[in-house]
Amino acid sequence: MRQVRNVTNRIALACAGVALLVAGLFLLSAGSAVRSRLPAWWPVPGADTALVDRPGLERLREHTWWTPAVLSGLTVLLLLLLWWLAGQLRGGGRRPIPLTPRGISLRTGALAQAMATRSAQLPGVARAHIRLRHGPRRLRATVDVVLEPDAEPAAVLHRLSAETLAQARESAAPRSVDAAVRMRVRAHRERRTR
C-alpha cells in the first residue's frame, strides 16, 4: 500500500511540475528580452496576446451552464486535493518502524492493535483504542480508555503503564514510547423490561 501511495505521489508531483514548468516557460517567452533568444520552433505568444480575452469570457458567461460548471469543477478539484492531503497525513503514522536488526520492521498499526487488545483485557477496562504516531527516535501513543463504572482509575493507569506500555517500549526499542492517556467511565444504562 505504501509503495502504491509513493508511486501515485511521485506521478502526481511530476505531472504538476511539468505543467507548471511549461506554463512558466511559455509566459516567460512573452518578454521581449527572452523572445529573441528562443529557438525557431518554440511557440512565442504575440505582444497583444492575453491569457483570457474579455470578449471570449463574456461570451462564455452568457451561457447558463458556464459559471456552475466552473464552480463545480473547482469544488471537485479542491475536495480531491483535500482528500489526498488527508490521506497523506493519516497514513504517516502507519509506516513500519525499522528495529535494531537489519531488515526487521514493525508496523505501527499492528503494534497499536496489540496494545489496544492488551489494554482491553485489564481489569476495569471496558474498551481501549490506541493511536500511534512515530518520529525518528520516539513513538507517541494516544490511549483512549473506557472504564467500567466500578473501576478505580489509579489502579487501571498503574497496570496500563506497568504492563501495556512497558511491553510496547520493549517491542519498539530503541525508540522510546510516550503516552497520553484519556479515561472516561462507561455510563450505567438501565435495562428496560417489557
- Write the pLDDT tens digit of every residue in 133-152: 877 778 888 899 999 888 88
Predicted TM-score of the model (pTM) = 0.49
Kindly give the parts of the chain with pLDDT less than 70: 1-5, 30-32, 45-52, 88, 90-95, 99-102, 188-194
Q: Do residue 38 and residue 104 come from a single domain?
A: no
Residue 108 is assigned to a structural domain of this protein: yes
Domain ranges, residue 40: 1-50
Q: Do residue 113 and residue 37 come from a single domain?
A: no
Q: Which three cell numbers stand for residue 29?
A: 517567452
Q: Out of 14, 35, 50, pick the residue that ends a domain.
A: 50
Tell me how many domains the chain contains. Answer: 2
Q: What pLDDT was estimated at residue 191?
A: 44
Residue 62 is assigned to a structural domain of this protein: no
Residue 125 is assigned to a structural domain of this protein: yes
Residues 6+ apart with CB under 8 A from 9: 88
State how far Cα 119 lies from the chain centre.
26
Q: What pLDDT was estimated at residue 95?
A: 65
Q: What pLDDT was estimated at residue 192?
A: 45
Q: What pLDDT was estimated at residue 151?
A: 84
Residue 120 is assigned to a structural domain of this protein: yes
